[in-house]
Structure 1
Amino acid sequence: MLTRMLKIVSIVIRVNDLTAQSRFWQAALHYVERDPADDDWVVLKPRDADTPCISLDVRHSERILPPRIHLDIYADDQAVEVRRLTELGAREVQWDGLPDDADYVIMEDPEGNRFCVIESPDWSGWEQMQGQ
């Protein structure tokens, strides 16, 4: 039997405007504040899922492209979610290296933090990953 020694509980995103970024990510992921926000820190948690939290940290950070790390966000209906995220203030990122058959759309939040929206017509792979 495999004993889990480590677990990703929160992913930290550096931001400039904590209030605006908190509103964006709460609306984007349907998350809520775990505890009331501090002046420079907030942890957003899922309402009803066992997935990692998103923590927003007000710290200056140089933007590097392409980023060394980004979020992959799975969607039942990618086109609908891309439109919704765009309405919330996200932008689609154009990339010449995108394969013709890509199942993802590269986006960035209002401050330029990158993430991908992945088409996920079948969640069985996700459920299998969770069982490992």
Structure 2
Amino acid sequence: MALRWYTTVINCLDVRKQAAWWAEALEWQLVHESDDECVIIPGWVDQKVMQETPWERIGPGLVFVTVPEGKTVKNRLHIDLAPHTSQDRDAEISRLEGLGAHRVDVGQADDASWTVLADPEGNEFCVLSSRDS
């Protein structure tokens, strides 16, 4: 039996705003929206892909759920994003900042090969060096 990594859940104050932000940042699609939960999945996934792909090979989505408290400490778990080698990494970071992300210092070295950003509610994530696989 194989378990599937189904989703990563992100606690937030405004699920609609956070889901919309991450959907735009990742170019994903919103597939469920309510006052207390929103779900986004990769933009290339459609019903045909879901039917043709083995259960355990379908990648995770992101689920945003409402919580009453704001974020107060560094994340214990975060998302790493990586641009392809054909992309301009700095331009991608600037695009994310233009959407409302901001740089944060979580103790990374000045010469780190990644950049730590936070989404509009303060959840940290990293933009890694460009990769081709």
- TM bracket, shorter-chain basis: 0.7 to 0.9
Give 5+ residue unaligned stretches, structure 1: 124-132
Q: 1:39 aligns with which of 35, 41, 63?
A: 35
Distance 2:132 2:113 in 1: 12
**What's the offset of the Cα at 1:7?**
1.7
| Shift in Å, 1:95 | 4.2
TM-score w.r.t. the length of structure 2 is 0.78
Counterpart in 1 of 2:21? 24
The TM-score with structure 1 as length reference comes to 0.79
Within-5 A mapping of 1:86-101: 86-98=97-109, 100=111
**How many angstroms does 1:108 deviate by?**
0.4
* Residue in structure 2 matched with residue 129 of structure 1 by the alignment: none
Matched residues, number:
118
The aligned counterpart of 1:56 is 64
Question: Which stretches of structure 1, 4 residues or more, deviate above 4 A after TM superposition?
Answer: none
Corresponding residue number in structure 1 for 2:49: none
RMSD: 1.9
Other structure's SS at 1:34 match: strand
Give structure 2 stretches of 5+ with no counterpart.
Answer: 46-57
- Inter-partner Cα distance in structure 1 for 2:106 and 2:6: 31
